[in-house]
Structure 1
Amino acid sequence: METTRHFTATVYIVESGAVALHHHERLGIRVPPGGHVDRDELPHEAGLREVREETGLDAELLDGTDDVDAPAGRVLPRPRHQMLYDINVHPDGTAGHQHIDHVYYARVDSREIDPAGDDEADTEAWEWYDETELRESDVDPDTVQFSLEAIEAAENVASTAAE
């Protein structure tokens, strides 16, 4: 049986030491903004689009990718992680559908979530989690780990900018 794979992008957005997660109705878990990469998009563009659609916020990627002198090319923001997630698993244990997820970290300037898309989670589905709340939550371990890393990355950028 063939496995269908789709590219996706997820962005952990940070504001003042907290990450925004929403309750995903169908999956029954808390997740950051994200979704499928469209045919005409690069993964980081899809992630930023998903942030705008799902939260109404404009995000700035926390990107540590070095520039490369390439006359015929350009450097793309490097995801912090690339993950392979099984979306539906058949009784024999094989995955029928998988997501190849590009995970990015970003900063936003506000916690005022106002979804811009028609089919997005309501504002009430979103919560901001700081480090303590993440560690004490029942949020999935990978989401906690990536959230904590995003908070640390945002703090490192802020402290470097202050110097």
Structure 2
Amino acid sequence: MSSTLYAAGRAARQSGDLQGLIDAVPYARFLGIRSAAPESSALLQLPFREGLVGNPALPAIHGGVTAAFMENAALLCLLLRLDVLRMPKSVDFAIDYLRSGRPLTLYADAEISRVGSRVAHVSVRCWQDQVQQPIALARGHFLLEPAPESA
């Protein structure tokens, strides 16, 4: 898995096609995450489908789905921006839910705030209609395994 993921990350950096990297991550593929912008942007989308609803009375997208989408956005951002051999390991991931996710497509972008020799800090914003009105914000630390120099 790690060599496939490493190759997909390299290909995404070279071609600007993030979808190949997304498809190399089984859970991202399972969730149905799509690239929302070309040219190696870390902007992602999770198209709405009924199976994502956690509270049919509102209806609202399940908070766990939102969290999984945001954590995947952070991981994919790390895989796209950094030359890492294996999937980064989550050290901690905290989410602030700001409002309910309506039955619409979710969008997320992630930004690497700091990269140390072994740990990276990533911030993620998730929204639906307007980027200025996020439904959730997250921050996480991830343990990295840098690729060897000769890879």
**Same fold per TM (> 0.5)?**
no
Structure number with bigger Rg: 1
Report which structure shows greater RCO (CA 8 Å, sep ≥6). Answer: 1
TM-score by length of 1: 0.27
